[in-house]
Amino acid sequence: MTTDFTSGSKPERLKELLALGLEESEVEEETQSSSPLDLFMEKPGSRIGRYELKHVLGEGAMAVVYLAQQQQPVKRQVALKILKPGMDSKAIISRFEAERQALALLDHPNVAHIHDAGATEDKRPYFAMEYVEGLPVTEYCDKNRLPIKERLHLFLMVCRAVHHAHQKGIIHRDIKPSNILVSLQDGQPVPKVIDFGLAKAISGSLSGRTLVTEQDQLLGTPEYMSPEQADMANEDIDTRSDIYSLGALLYVLLTGVLPFDFETLRKDGVEHIRQVIRDNDPKTPSTRLTNLGDKAHKVAETRRTEVATLVKRLHKELEWIPLKAMRKERSERYQSASELAEDIEGYLEGVALTAGPPSTMYRIKKIVRRNRALITGIAAVIAVSIVGTVISTVFAIKANQQARASQAISDFLTKDLFASIHEVAATKSEITVESLLDVSSEHLKGKFDQEPLIKASIRSVIGIAYYKVGNFEAAQSNMKRAIELRRDCLGHNDFQTLELMMWLGWYYMQDSKYDEAEKILVETVDDMRRTVSDVNWNLLEATSRLAWVYYLQERFDEAEKLQAEALEVVQRKLGPNHLYAPNHMEGLAFVYWERGDREKALEINKKAVEIYQRDPDVDMGMAGGNIKSLAWMYTELGHFSEAEELYLNDLKLKSRMDDGEESINFLRRVGELGTMYRKWEKYDEAEKWLLKAEEIARRVFGNDHQITNTGVNNLIVLYEAWNKPEQANQWRAKMPEPAPEPSR
């Protein structure tokens, strides 16, 4: 009789049930001869091939394991693993056969052997394996209250067994406590790794997919599954996948808890779990243990120690071993199980470990990786550069301030800034760094009101980030707020505050707000002169910036006076070719240029660049400004090949283009190079560079950005000069509004 289960159910519900029933339809081919309704046919007492079934040892998601008696050719007990219906027997057996020769080479006291494989009458595959009467390794350790040291000794044996198999070309793919059984031999605990060779045969084309298709199986394995296994699309599994699982196992042996708390994560579905495996780093074992509360006592007790002692021991260095084994990037893990074993041995012998706390860059990459689904490629690059700036800022602050501040900023970055990605994603189709900053800036309101210095640090960090993405207005208001907060607490002579003021002046100047720029820079220079020596780099820089503001206001005498005085002090006190000099020489060169003394301008700027060229280790960030202004002067004077030489060789534009650089400064230089070629009437070259610059700008900064418009405008000017009005008009149509001036 048919029972009515589904009447009245909504179509989408029926579809869900149908979809559940149709999962994995491709592995179903071989089971036709058996009834699809057979659950398990085998009952204790029945025979499978030469094995007589005794009783069920366990029921797994994929298989039932029986204790069985073999009579021929040898009399022995075996564990017989029979797969549940619904799998492709032929393929499984043939995959197993393919591995068989390799498996035969496995000869290690800590690896359980697989004796035989075959198919039941209804064609379900079975495997006859060495029967190991033991407990899963974690259970054994807890039951016997093994201290950390003894746990490590057991784990070492496991590593060596896995390494042995890896050397024979066999990857386990499913290392977890229930696949490592510990039994006593001559009174000594001996771990045995079981199921070597099975995962590949069973999963085969399914590799990694089990996570999705057998959702309910999530209880069992994903905790030990490497990110590359969790990634469905990835068929490329190597021995380092086992290293990851070993790391997870070690984590559990040490702390008594899993690296990820799947109990809570599971609620959000499979995709979420997969995401966590792929993108989240596990908390350090010591942190995890500290957060366990009462449970921590039990954990410590089963390790015959105190919570505090255990935490201390883990924190000191031991915990870096599982964390290194569990790195997301395979290349950052131990490269072999024996390397992992060596670090364990090293620890036991008190030798320095190869594992250690992750580097700053590692953490930055992690933040981006966690959000890579949302941050598109380019935004990710910008995000890395911003986070890089920010983190170095944080570290700089750390030197001066208490760790509390740097922690707060670091938290803000990871929790607020990058968490806001999701908020932005919900409302906007395109995620830009700027929109992230907007949201995180909102988040900051009302926070840290009792800790104005921390708030100021975060504001300044946001200000710098806004400047980097070209939002000058937001950069200014954040920086201004940061300065106010600091001044309220620290008064007017705090040097870091003065530094921020210098930056704020610079932001005003970039935004053509010369009066504001002048006001704050005058104040900065005055305050700095009172507090630091006259060859302090920051004071010189602030002075130079103030001079540039005068220059832009066409107050050339004042600009010249400031630059000349600064240059004189530098050369007198630090030497004529000191690297601080070119900055002021460039400023002077432009003053001469504007007054019409082009030869003198060129002369002094050439000398400035020569100072840099003398020093092979010079920082491009410093030298770049002088070189590009010299190149510009050459262009204006019609000395094109000299300009070309500077752009291509000294500024390395060609190789930077090949490297995929996409910064604003780089694009500006490329725009200048293209414009130089246009003036040189080398239109083909000009077109090549300008098109590329426009394409990068549009991709990186979006359609409405000033840098993109400049790129378009450069092309319009080029095509007009080239007498290609049609192309010029096509580009003109892409301009949102009246074109800005082309770059010089």
Partner 1 sequence: MGYHDQTSMGGTAKAFLTTHWSLIKDITSDDQRNRALIDLLIQRYWKPVYFYLRRKGYDNEQAKDLTQGFFHEVVLSRQLVQTADPARGRFRSLLLSAMERYVIDQMDKETARKRIPKEKLVSLDLADHWDLPDVVFESSPADSYNYGWVSALLDQILSQVQAKCREQDMEIHWNIFHDRVVRPIVEDAACPSLSEICKKYGIENEKKASNMMITVKRCFQAALKECIRNTVASEQNIDEELREIMRFFPKRAQHSD
DSSP letter, residue 116: E
How is residue 318 annotated by DSSP? I
CA–CA gap between residue 444 and residue 338 (Å, rounded): 48
Q: Which of 6, 291, 335, 730 binds partner 1 (CB under 8 A)?
A: 6
205 binds partner 1 per the rule CB under 8 A: no
Stretch that binds partner 1, among 11-19, 390-398, 536-544, 731-739 (CB under 8 A): 11-19
**Are 559 and 591 within 8 A, CB to CB?**
yes
Nearer to partner 1, 257 or 630 (CB): 257
- Minimum CB–partner distance for residue 476 and partner 1 (Å): 44
- CB 264 to partner 1: min, Å: 12
CB 12 → partner 1: shortest distance, Å?
Answer: 3
β-strand partners of 191? 182
Is 373 a residue that touches partner 1 (CB under 8 A)?
A: no
When asked if residue 15 is in the footprint of partner 1 (CB under 8 A), the reply is yes
Catalytic (active site) residue 704: no
Write the CB contacts of 229 (distance below 8 Å, at least 6 apart in sequence): 173, 207, 208, 211, 237, 241
Which of 46, 59, 101, 351 forms a contact with partner 1 (CB under 8 A)?
59
* Comparison of 14 and 361: residue with beta carbon closer to partner 1: 14
Site membership for partner 1, residue 426 (CB under 8 A): no
Is residue 40 a contact point for partner 1 (CB under 8 A)? Answer: yes
Percentages helix, strand, coil for the chain, rounded to the nearest 5? 65, 5, 30
Answer yes or no whether residue 86 interacts with partner 1 by CB under 8 A.
Answer: yes
186 touches partner 1 by CB under 8 A: no
CB of 37 to partner 1, least distance (A): 4
The nearest distance, CB 208 to partner 1, in angstroms, is: 18
Among residues 14, 105, 403, 574, the one that binds partner 1 under rule CB under 8 A? 14
Using the rule CB under 8 A, give the single segment among 57-65, 331-339, 406-414, 719-727 that binds partner 1: 57-65
d(CA 22, CA 24): 6
Q: Is 61 in the site for partner 1 (CB under 8 A)?
A: yes
Q: Which of 362, 334, 384, 383 is nearest to 163 (CA)?
A: 334
Q: Is 44 in the site for partner 1 (CB under 8 A)?
A: no
# residues near partner 1 by CB under 8 A: 48
Catalytic annotation, pick one of 174, 281, 438, 650: 174
Q: According to the binding rule CB under 8 A, does residue 738 interact with partner 1?
A: no
CB of 276 to partner 1, least distance (A): 15
- Residue number with CB closer to partner 1 (85 or 125): 85
Q: Does 39 bind partner 1 (CB under 8 A)?
A: yes
CA 626: distance to chain centroid? 35
Residue 23 binds partner 1 (CB under 8 A): yes
User: Which whole-number Å values give the CA distances from 211 to 64, 135, 195, 272, 415, in the listed order?
Assistant: 19, 25, 19, 11, 28
DSSP codes, 530-549:
HHS-TT-HHHHHHHHHHHHH
Please identify, using beta-carbon distances, which residue of 75 and 267 lies nearer to partner 1.
267
Q: Cβ distance 244 to 326 under 8 Å?
A: yes
Residues 433/386, Cβ–Cβ less than 8 Å: yes
Binding pattern for the stretch 258-297 against partner 1, x by CB under 8 A and - elsewhere: ----------xxxx--------------------------
Task: Please select the residue that binds partner 1; options are 70, 81, 85, 674, rule is CB under 8 A.
Answer: 85
Nearer to partner 1, 167 or 275 (CB): 275
Nearer of residues 44 and 740 to partner 1, judged by Cβ: 44
User: Is the alpha carbon torsion for 693, 708, 633, 741 positive or negative?
Assistant: positive
Angle at 197 between CA 192 and CA 203, to 5 degrees: 125
Q: Are 195 and 221 in contact (CB under 8 A)?
A: no
Which H or E run includes 115?
Answer: strand 114-119
Inter-CA distances, 665 with 346, 437, 545, 661, Å? 48, 21, 18, 10
Query: Can residue 185 be called a binding residue for partner 1 (CB under 8 A)?
Result: no
Contacts of 407 (CB under 8 A, 6+ apart): none
Residues in touch with partner 1 (CB under 8 A): 1-25, 28, 31-32, 36-40, 59-61, 84-86, 214, 216-217, 219-220, 268-271
**Residues labelled as active-site residues:** 174
